[in-house]
Amino acid sequence: MQLTIGIAACSSEGAALCYRTICARAPALLGPHGHPNIVLYGHSLNHYVAALERGDLHNVAELMLDTARRLSAAGADFVICPDNTIHAAMALVRDASPLPWLHIAEIVALEAKKRGVRKAAILGTKWLVDSDVYPDALAEQGIAYLRPETDEREIIGRLIMDELVNDIQNGESIRYFQNLIARMKSRGCDAVILGCTEIPIIITDENSLLPTLDSTRLLADAALHHAISPRQEAA
How far is 194 from 179, CA to CA, in rounded Å?
A: 14
How far is 170 from 178, CA to CA, in rounded Å?
A: 12
How far is 174 from 7, CA to CA, in rounded Å?
A: 28
| 112-156 pLDDT per residue, tens | 999 999 999 999 999 999 999 999 999 999 999 999 999 999 999
- pLDDT value at 1 more than 90: no
Predicted TM-score (pTM) of this structure: 0.93
| 50-79 pLDDT per residue, tens | 999 999 999 999 999 999 999 999 999 999
Phi-psi category of 116—alpha, beta or left, where left has phi over 0 and alpha has psi -120 to 50? left
- pLDDT value at 234 more than 50: no
- pLDDT value at 233 more than 60: no
Q: Would you identify the CATH topology of the domain 105-214?
A: Rossmann fold (3.40.50)
What is the architecture of the domain spanning 5-103+217-228? 3-Layer(aba) Sandwich (3.40)
CATH 3.40.50.1860 domain residues, the chain: 5-103+217-228, 105-214
Mean pLDDT score of the chain: 95
